[in-house]
């Protein structure tokens, strides 16, 4: 029965999904809602994000020789699982569902579902090589559940419950398409994973990997890095509107990526006594700019059923984006070079893919920046877009009462709520996964010769060549 | 002369193409026909399909260590050959050509040409490692010829010959852009290849491949799998219209892919006594949902010069798409695990890439589904789109007389015609390729040391390091 | 200090960029200029180009086993550097800057910046494995500087200085978005690199690479080849307008790619005594059609602040595109098989990636074609688009006085100016890089055992495993 654990749990989940889809989900009628159809605008952006999630994240984690295939396959499994689950969860939280008992899905819901995948995949990066597939599946289940609920809470109940009575039409029209989700993706995913890693699974997988020169695995990993690099502007812009916010999200991300790449090479060469580059830095820190700018360029708008600015801000000047990229890269390389080794030694906190340095710290930087920009930017400098960015700013049509200080406070509260829930959720999930009823990865210190790692724990990607 | 065979045949073909392009082809004038220009809609979809054909299919077949480079290169050669040939063939079948002696090409013709590539590449998957490049080129020639003609017959002469007199304007306007081609791609390609494999070439290439652990070749193969995975919604939606059909094609494919992936992992773990996953299943069966839904979400419309529903239907409810994905994945994994080994033993039918399990059976499933949906769906549930899906349904402006039963019969006839022609065509082509005048692959059982496989049959990808 | 050279120079550059971005650059306001916003049209094309530059070029150069990771990383570094630098340089040359001291950037500026990367990456292909990162950075600096200035001169001062007074509004509106840049990309990049290679660095890196069978590195290289293959139509069409020019650029490139691929296999098989294919030809010459058609399908228009036809022409008939592909492929394969070995022997000119055969000669072919088409095409056959292609043609609204002969002369002058500047610039840059103050690659003939190549010259991608 232990060997059938994965099949049973996956089977139950998939059956449940079928039932829920059958009872509660319908397609939006694109003839009724012109914003929801295939529109030359959203679908290409969706495809960029889709490619990033399924190919980019998978190959990014393929740098460990012994887990390359596992990384790519489990990435695929979890993503396919999460997109169904997240679509259902978000649907149950819509107004349409509470009113009619049905909700409808379209391209924007697909984009949202992919963001939920990103959070789970980031968490997976922390724990790669230390969980069995059945554990990963449970992890994805709990994390997605918590993530969607927290995100809903932050964007909807924290301070905008007036909305539904006030703008019922808009509310209903756009109730599912939401933006400002970046905070819940990078920061949540990273700290959830780190907290789960704290609880158990204290093994350093890296050291078990074979040493040697530059491997092909590093080139595979570069496929992932480059795909993320290339599509980060789309990722940050996919759920932005109106046009000027989307445009700014693209440009800010582009500039931050460029400056953070040059800075990564520079700092990586500095921290090495011989002035050489470290390939781990190149594979990861070059992306830090996109993570850090991600949140601060986010603009939650009408479409998100949320008038919160909690995770949102706008970088208005190109050089701010360039500077954010530089700072994020410095932070990330320093994290790889000095902070991670210290965490391993003092806290026994092992982070297989260095997620803390790519998503964790740059994510918090982004949160800080969103507080700072809200505080320091003159309201006038936003021009026409002020109320798109901060709908509750004083003088807007929502009768908001916020100005620099209060908006900055809201940003800070949002960041804290996300961080705290992620850590508590991660700790709890880590405990659940430690329960002995689940398949566990065997002690990797045990000499296992040519046997595949997964082979010892009932899972193997090589069933062509079975070991007895 | 034997050694120049490939160059001579390729040279003749390419010269012929130049002459035909010079005499009969012109570009459409985008200023005259607004639907044909670059339009933010069709070109991005074309690019998705283009990436899928040239990169996705090539790398999908790269999992055999000894044929990785061959797979990718021959994939490129055949595709480049077929897109020219298919564009010409389709053009000769247009009304515009029969009336004016000229036909024009644009983005939609490029999309159609890529579908023809897909059929040939699927066939190539069955025969990989067992044909020389010159044989592959001939195979592509015959298969494309037959495929385009059959497709034309099914969609135009089977029951819609009244059309041209009735709606001459529409007819002429859209005469080349056609949809509903999925049936002719997956099912045709798979059974054509299997029939050709029956005739000769009875060798098991797989066993000749080196055994061992997880190879980098499997990661290359995953690049192909994931690219197909990511772009399948675009592939199924590229030639759909109007907007609501395209939207539904995207959504249905997306859900079917997700559910078929989770199911593949589940069933793969079930069929293994130790509960492990089989990497072949992951590389292939995860895509089965897209194949099976492909056809049934197809909506041939005005634009296809065809009012046939022969290969078409529409999945109207999300949970139907989810279920189709589950069933297709089960079928496909069972095919890999039990049916393929039996076919090899009893019929000596070797299928290098397991095409029967990915394209063959799920393709037939799709055909069945299109019959079933036509039969069971209430006409009212289609809403406004009924006549887009079944233009000859009773009460439409084409004075059709079909209802559930008769439409289902037409669907069945279409499936049978495609299947029978594919098998006969494959058998004949297999016989032609066996003729001794063509370069043949030598007996691979002969010990060949470090010599490259292709080196023995006048073809080698390594001319830098020639063997005397 | 020698070991900190890279970090210091990169640091100075990036700081300079921040200062310049802060003082002179702002985002365009998409609400003011509808052509500049995210528009379902330009952004997807930008993404195609972006993927091509960052992933395609990087992996194309990954075929050398010892330099695979270097190729991909340095590609990323240089691109991230050049996009910032080129955006600034182009901005300083705009009318808006000279009038207001500020310039604005948007999606079209991002596309232009990526073209400048392409030129540098082509040059990098010539010198791969023979320069240290600090030398590559300097190379990128000088080449981009010269390239942007020459391009500006050719398109603006050669003969269109009347413009600004005549059409000030258009001038200002579109002053940055320019097209017709292909000439400055392929031809400039290739001959700049070859000239730089002439001066010093006379080592054959290829021979140092391990011999053997087909490597995985060749499959990585095919990823690059195929991505370039797939996105070449977008690359050639990205900055085209109006619609009919963009449409023709897509179609011409598509057909030229297809015919050049079939021809490459054919000719490659011909030049081998045993009729085998050479993988180098497949990795490179299959792309020659896109290079050669690139220029001749280019249409510089109003948007380019230029009414020059210097690098531009239009292929009007499909079969011309097919023929261009065939000729380019023949030229390119012959280059690989016969010209490159001779250049190495007689001039000691080593071209690591065979750039001369892919970008150099097909680029010159394209220049010739643009002369030829201007000379031979009847003006009437252009139809409505004549003045889009040759705005100064007699009878247009710019009071031009050109006809076939004079337009052809202008095309020729443009080609010569680009060629001469590239060669002189390359020679000078080569001399600068030889100065002993920069890190130099050590003598590779020296036996270096398992030491990494870069390790000897203060640079290493493996700092995880440091050599003392």
For residue A102, the distance in angstroms to the closest alpha carbon of chain B comes to: 12
In terms of Cβ atoms closer than 10 Å to its own Cβ (0-12, 13-18, 19+), residue C61 is buried
Q: Looking at residue A268, what is its pLDDT?
A: 85
% of chain C exceeding 70 in pLDDT = 70
Q: Looking at residue C82, what is its pLDDT?
A: 92
Q: Which of B9, B13, B27 to mutate to test the interface with C (most CBs of C within 10 A)?
A: B27
Do B73 and C247 count as a contact with CB atoms less than 8 A apart? no
- Chain A positions in Cβ-Cβ contact with residue C216 (cut-off 8 Å): 216
Q: Does residue C115 or residue C384 have the better pLDDT?
A: C115
pLDDT range class, residue A6, cuts 50, 70, 90: confident
Half-sphere exposure (CA, 13 Å, Cβ side) for B359? 29
- Chain B positions in Cβ-Cβ contact with residue A222 (cut-off 8 Å): none
pLDDT range class, residue A464, cuts 50, 70, 90: very low
Count of C-beta atoms within a 10 Å radius of residue A437: 8
Say yes or no: A442 contacts chain C, CB-CB below 8 A: no
- Chain C positions in Cβ-Cβ contact with residue A272 (cut-off 8 Å): 460, 463, 466
Pairing relation of β-strands B103-105 and C25-27? unpaired
- Chain C positions in Cβ-Cβ contact with residue A265 (cut-off 8 Å): 6, 10, 77, 133
Do C460 and A274 count as a contact with CB atoms less than 8 A apart? yes
Count of C-beta atoms within a 10 Å radius of residue C48: 26
State which of A14-28, A234-248, A312-326, C308-322 shows the largest mean pLDDT: A14-28
Checking if the pLDDT of C159 tops 70, the result is no
Among B300, B299, B305, B307, which Cα is nearest to B171's? B305
- Cα separation, A266 vs A264, in Å, equals 5
Identify whether the C-beta of residue A425 lies closer than 8 Å to the C-beta of residue A146: yes
Region A226-241: what's the mean pLDDT?
79
Q: Looking at residue B270, what is its pLDDT?
A: 84
pLDDT range class, residue A309, cuts 50, 70, 90: very low
Q: Looking at residue B89, what is its pLDDT?
A: 92
Rounded to the nearest 5 percent, the helix, strand and coil shares of chain A are 70, 5, 25
Each residue's pLDDT tens digit, B56-111: 888 888 776 667 777 888 888 898 899 899 989 988 888 788 888 888 888 878 88
Q: Looking at residue A359, what is its pLDDT?
A: 87
% of chain C exceeding 90 in pLDDT = 6
Which residues of chain B fall below pLDDT 70?
1, 29-41, 64-66, 155-183, 200-216, 239-244, 294-315, 382-392, 396-400, 440-468
Q: Looking at residue A140, what is its pLDDT?
A: 93
For residue A382, the distance in angstroms to the closest alpha carbon of chain B comes to: 30
Predicted-complex ipTM score: 0.81
Q: Which of C26, C27, C111, C215 to mutate to test the interface with A (most CBs of A within 10 A)?
A: C27
Both structure tokens of C379: 């003006």
Each residue's pLDDT tens digit, A350-401: 887 888 888 888 888 887 887 777 777 777 776 666 666 666 677 766 666 7
- Cα separation, A341 vs A339, in Å, equals 6
Do B30 and C234 count as a contact with CB atoms less than 8 A apart? no
State which of A127-131, A180-184, B87-91, B386-390 shows the largest mean pLDDT: B87-91
Checking if the pLDDT of C202 tops 50, the result is yes
Identify whether the C-beta of residue B224 lies closer than 8 Å to the C-beta of residue B62: yes
Q: Looking at residue C144, what is its pLDDT?
A: 92
Q: Looking at residue C81, what is its pLDDT?
A: 92
> Which 24-83 residues of chain C touch chain A by CB within 8 A?
25-31, 36-38, 40-41, 43-44, 47, 50-51, 54-55, 58-59, 62, 68-69, 72-73, 76-77, 80-81, 83
Identify whether the C-beta of residue B398 lies closer than 8 Å to the C-beta of residue B307: yes
Torsions phi, psi for A462 (to 5 deg) = -120, 40
Checking if the pLDDT of A41 tops 80, the result is no
Checking if the pLDDT of A97 tops 90, the result is no
Helix/strand/coil for C27: strand
- Cα separation, B150 vs B166, in Å, equals 24
Q: Looking at residue C177, what is its pLDDT?
A: 29
DSSP C210: P
Checking if the pLDDT of C36 tops 70, the result is no
Do A29 and B383 count as a contact with CB atoms less than 8 A apart? yes
Both structure tokens of B180: 């509903």
Q: Looking at residue C213, what is its pLDDT?
A: 44
Residue listed under structure tokens 């194949």? B291
Q: Looking at residue A468, what is its pLDDT?
A: 27
Checking if the pLDDT of C320 tops 70, the result is yes
Identify whether the C-beta of residue C138 lies closer than 8 Å to the C-beta of residue C435: no
Mean pLDDT over each residue of chain C, to the nearest integer = 73
Residue listed under structure tokens 């990586």? A268
Do B76 and C286 count as a contact with CB atoms less than 8 A apart? yes
Do C262 and B14 count as a contact with CB atoms less than 8 A apart? yes
Reported pTM? 0.82
Both structure tokens of C36: 């500049």
Among C307, C322, C325, C323, which Cα is nearest to C386's? C307
Each residue's pLDDT tens digit, B253-296: 888 888 988 898 888 888 877 777 888 888 888 888 888 886 54
Minimum mean pLDDT range among A76-85, A385-394, C141-150: A385-394
Do C18 and A275 count as a contact with CB atoms less than 8 A apart? no
User: Residue C458: which of A218, A276, A319 has the nearest Cβ?
Assistant: A276
- Chain A positions in Cβ-Cβ contact with residue C6 (cut-off 8 Å): 265-266, 269, 275
Both structure tokens of C162: 């009347």
């Amino acid at each position: 029965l232990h060997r059938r654990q994965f099949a049973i749990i996956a089977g139950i989940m998939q059956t449940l999904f079928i039932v829920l889809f059958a009872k509660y989900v319908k397609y939006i009628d694109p003839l009724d809602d012109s914003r929801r159809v295939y529109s030359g605008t959203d679908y290409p952006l969706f495809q960029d994000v889709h490619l990033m999630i399924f190919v980019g994240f998978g190959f990014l984690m393929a740098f460990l020789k012994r887990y390359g295939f596992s990384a790519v396959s489990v990435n695929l499994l979890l993503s396919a699982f999460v997109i169904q689950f997240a679509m259902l969860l978000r649907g149950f939280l819509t107004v349409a569902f509470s009113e009619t008992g049905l909700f409808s899905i379209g391209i924007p819901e697909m984009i949202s579902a992919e963001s939920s995948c990103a959070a789970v995949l980031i968490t997976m990066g922390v724990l790669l090589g230390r969980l069995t597939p059945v554990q990963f599946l449970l992890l994805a289940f709990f994390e997605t559940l918590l993530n969607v609920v927290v995100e809903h809470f932050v964007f909807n109940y924290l301070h905008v419950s007036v909305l539904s009575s006030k703008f019922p039409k808009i509310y209903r029209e756009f109730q599912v398409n939401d933006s400002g989700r970046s905070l819940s993706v990078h920061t949540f995913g990273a700290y959830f994973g780190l907290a789960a890693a704290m609880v158990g699974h204290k093994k350093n997988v890296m050291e078990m990997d074979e040493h040697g020169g530059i491997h092909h695995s590093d080139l595979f990993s570069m496929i992932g890095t480059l795909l993320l690099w290339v599509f980060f502007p789309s990722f940050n812009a996919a759920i932005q509107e109106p046009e000027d916010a989307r445009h700014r999200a693209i440009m800010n991300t582009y500039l931050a990526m460029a400056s953070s790449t040059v800075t990564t090479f520079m700092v990586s060469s500095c921290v090495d006594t011989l002035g050489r580059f470290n390939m781990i830095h190149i594979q990861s820190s070059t992306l830090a700019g996109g993570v850090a700018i991600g949140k601060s360029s986010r603009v939650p708008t009408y479409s998100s059923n949320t008038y919160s600015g909690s995770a949102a801000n706008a970088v208005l000047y190109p050089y701010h984006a360039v500077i954010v990229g530089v700072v994020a890269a410095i932070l990330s390389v320093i994290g790889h070079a000095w902070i991670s080794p210290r965490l391993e030694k003092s806290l026994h906190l092992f982070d297989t893919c260095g997620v803390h340095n790519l998503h964790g710290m740059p994510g918090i930087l982004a949160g800080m920046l969103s507080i700072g920009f809200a505080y320091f930017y003159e309201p006038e400098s936003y021009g026409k877009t002020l109320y798109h960015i901060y709908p509750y700013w004083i003088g807007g049509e929502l009768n908001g009462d916020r100005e620099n200080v209060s908006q900055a406070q809201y940003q800070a509260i949002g960041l804290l709520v996300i961080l705290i829930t992620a850590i508590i959720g991660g700790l709890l999930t880590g405990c659940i996964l430690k329960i002995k009823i689940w398949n566990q990865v065997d002690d990797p210190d045990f000499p296992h010769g040519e046997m595949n790692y997964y082979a010892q724990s009932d899972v193997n990607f090589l069933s062509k060549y079975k070991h007895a």
